[in-house]
């Protein structure tokens, strides 16, 4: 019988029947019939503790006995209050206010509405567009699609339906670039701001790592330069750390590499350790305080039904505690060293005729090929070796759970390399 489940990003006429997952433990999930697959992607980058983590599961059960849900409109509860305080503590200094929502896309919608209303309340209603970067991905809802790369993104067919925003070129200087090498990228960003700042509410970026747009990595100097340009042109800086947050780039947040505080920062994916959908949009005092006033326009008119869901907040708190108790930044550094040695430093791989580039940042590694056809069949190849890989376009990548052992990490890199032998 054909299932009524409509799967994402799939051609319905040619998609293979999706295997059924019946459970998971650590970095592996189990399929019907007992096949175990080592998940090289940690389920779209969110299951940072792997599957069935005893502390996260226990936290959910405990919270379920106390309170599964209550609206955050006009009410509050302990898990939401505590999680907001924790997020303020661990994020860059100055992000003191937390608006919860239910997914990364909605968290970005909140950020963009906040930026537009901020300028409106300051008497600059003409600053109502976004400046985004080429190769950006910020989510699949309408507002987010409009700030994804308009050509390479997955949403070009919707162009006529979407509001128009501005785009600056994607940065090209690598992570290790010198300040001088980042200058050309910043000069292009300056040009875009000079042209459009009078109608721009915010500059949006996935700091250091444009993830779904092809795992493009850039330099912390770019973040610092962008911060200075935003101040110069009275444009808010929004960091979409939905993918980069919680250790993916090697520090807790990508912003930490540059010691930059954005005006608004969005977190999701790893926030709950992947155990429930949730997001947080953090703002500085400057942004928040612009909303203090008694005209009807001062209220922030957004409120997802499930914002601040107690189960999600409780499991997020446990996720943050495990991250610190078990020295996840140390684990990430060890995964990084292994990815670097096994992939980025592998001469044979780098010089393979099909390979364009090999890049590693934190617990992220990608083999970029010249032609997407070179990756046809790689997922099946990996599965026969017990690994779940899900390449997209020209990018074969891994973003493992941080509890992945060194032997397991090597199993993943071996499978990735063996495809090119
Ligand atoms: C995944 C992602 C989003 C969207 O998050 P959803 O929870 O899927 O809505 C937004 N921004 C970035 C950078 C992402 O990687």
Distance between Cα 28 and ligand 1 center (Å): 23
Question: Quick check: helix, strand or coil at residue 91?
Answer: coil
Q: Note the pLDDT of residue 261.
A: 98
Ligand 1 contacts CB of residue 117 (under 6 A): no
**What are 207's two structure tokens?**
């700091």
Question: Do 145 and 153 touch, CB atoms closer than 8 A?
Answer: yes
Q: What gap in Å lies between CA 355 and CA 45, rounded to an integer?
A: 24
For residues 394 and 396, give the distance between their C-alpha atoms in angstroms, rounded to a whole number.
7
- The predicted structure's pLDDT at residue 1: 67
Which 3 state secondary structure label does DSSP give 25? strand
52's tokens: 């069935």
Question: Model pTM?
Answer: 0.98
| Active-site option among 39, 102, 149, 240 | 240
Given the residues 102, 118, 135, 137, the one annotated as active site: 137
Whose CA is closest to 261, among 88, 145, 144, 103? 88
From the CB of 102, is ligand 1 less than 6 Å away? Answer: no
Domains 59-324 and 327-402+411-418 share a fold: no
Q: Residue of the nearest CA to atom 11 in ligand 1?
A: 138
Which parts of the chain register pLDDT below 50? none
Domain extent listing, the chain = 59-324, 327-402+411-418
Q: Is position 137 annotated as part of the catalytic site? A: yes
CA–CA gap between residue 334 and residue 327 (Å, rounded): 11
- CATH 3.40.640.10 correct for 59-324: yes
| Residue of 48, 135, 138 to test ligand 1 pocket, by largest number of atoms within 8 Å of CB | 138
How many Å separate Cα 416 from the centre of its chain?
23
How many of the other CB atoms lie within 10 Å of CB of 195? 13
Q: What is the widest separation between alpha-carbon atoms in the chain?
A: 67
The Cα–Cα gap between 103 and 144 comes to 12
Give the integer Cα–Cα distance in Å for 39 and 37.
6
The answer to whether 162 touches 155, Cβ cutoff 8 Å, is yes
Please give the class, per CATH, of domain 327-402+411-418.
alpha beta
For 387, the 3-state DSSP assignment is strand
Compute the chain's Rg from CA coordinates.
21
- Name the residue of 8, 104, 211 whose CB sits within 8 Å of the most ligand 1 atoms, as the mutation to test its pocket: 104
222 catalytic per annotation: no
Q: What are phi and psi of 26, to 5 degrees?
A: 60, -140
User: Tokens at residue 278, please?
Assistant: 């949730």
Cα–Cα distance measured from residue 110 to residue 261, given in angstroms and rounded to the nearest whole number: 18
Count Cβ neighbours within 10 Å for each residue of 84-95 and write b for 16 or more, e otherwise.
bebbeeebbeeb
DSSP letter for each residue of 264-315: EEEE-GGGGTTSS--EEEEEEHHHHHTT-SSSGGGS-----TTTT-HHHHHH
Mutate which of 45, 108, 267 for ligand 1? The one with the most ligand atoms within 8 Å of its CB, which is 108
Residue closest by Cα to atom 8 of ligand 1: 104
Is the separation of the CB atoms in 190 and 228 below 8 Å? no
Rounded Cα distance between 394 and 325, Å, is: 37
* Distance (Å) of CA 125 to CA 108, 121, 128, 131, 200: 20, 8, 6, 16, 10
Tell me if 342 CB under 6 Å of ligand 1: no
**Phi, psi torsion values for 290, nearest 5 degrees:** -65, -20
Q: What is the pLDDT of residues 247-278, one digit of tens each?
A: 999 999 999 999 999 999 999 999 999 999 99
Sign of CA dihedral 95, 96, 100, 106: negative
């Amino acid at each position: 019988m054909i299932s009524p489940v409509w799967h994402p990003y799939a051609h319905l006429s040619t998609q293979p029947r999706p295997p059924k997952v019946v459970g998971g433990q650590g970095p592996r999930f189990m399929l019907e019939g007992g096949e175990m697959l080592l998940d090289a992607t940690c389920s779209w980058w969110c299951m940072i503790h792997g599957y069935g983590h005893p502390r996260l599961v226990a936290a959910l059960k405990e919270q379920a006995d106390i309170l599964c849900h209550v609206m955050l409109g006009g009410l509050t509860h302990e898990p939401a209050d505590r999680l907001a305080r924790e997020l303020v503590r661990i994020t860059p200094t100055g992000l003191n206010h937390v608006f919860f929502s239910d997914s990364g896309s909605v968290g970005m919608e909140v950020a963009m509405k906040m930026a537009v209303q901020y300028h409106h309340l300051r008497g600059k209603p003409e600053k109502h567009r976004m400046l985004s970067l080429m190769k950006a991905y910020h989510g699949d809802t309408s507002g987010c699609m409009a700030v994804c790369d308009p050509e390479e993104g997955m949403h070009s067919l919707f162009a006529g339906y979407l509001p128009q925003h501005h785009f600056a070129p994607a940065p090209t200087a690598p992570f290790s670039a010198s300040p001088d090498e980042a200058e050309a990228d910043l000069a292009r960003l300056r040009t875009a701001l000079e042209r459009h700042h009078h109608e721009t509410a915010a500059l949006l970026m996935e700091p250091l790592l444009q993830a779904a747009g092809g795992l493009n990595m850039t330099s912390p100097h770019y973040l610092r330069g962008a911060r200075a340009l935003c101040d110069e042109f009275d444009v808010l800086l929004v960091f979409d750390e939905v993918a980069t947050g919680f250790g993916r780039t090697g520090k807790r947040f990508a912003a930490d590499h540059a010691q930059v505080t954005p005006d608004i920062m969005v977190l999701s994916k790893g926030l709950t350790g992947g155990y429930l959908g949730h997001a947080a949009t953090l703002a500085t005092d400057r942004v928040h305080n612009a909303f203090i006033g008694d005209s009807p326009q001062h209220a922030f008119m957004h409120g997802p039904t499930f914002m601040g869901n107690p189960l999600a907040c409780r499991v997020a708190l446990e996720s943050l505690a495990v991250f610190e108790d078990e020295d996840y930044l140390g684990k990430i550094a060890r995964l990084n060293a292994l990815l670097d040695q096994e992939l980025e430093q592998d001469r044979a791989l780098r010089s393979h005729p099909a390979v364009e580039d090999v890049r590693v940042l934190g617990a992220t590694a990608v083999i970029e090929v010249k032609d997407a056809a070179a990756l046809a069949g790689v997922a099946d190849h990996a599965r026969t070796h017990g690994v779940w890989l899900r390449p997209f376009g020209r990018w074969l990548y891994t973003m493992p759970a941080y509890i992945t052992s060194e032997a397991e990490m090597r199993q993943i890199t071996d499978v990735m390399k063996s495809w090119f032998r």
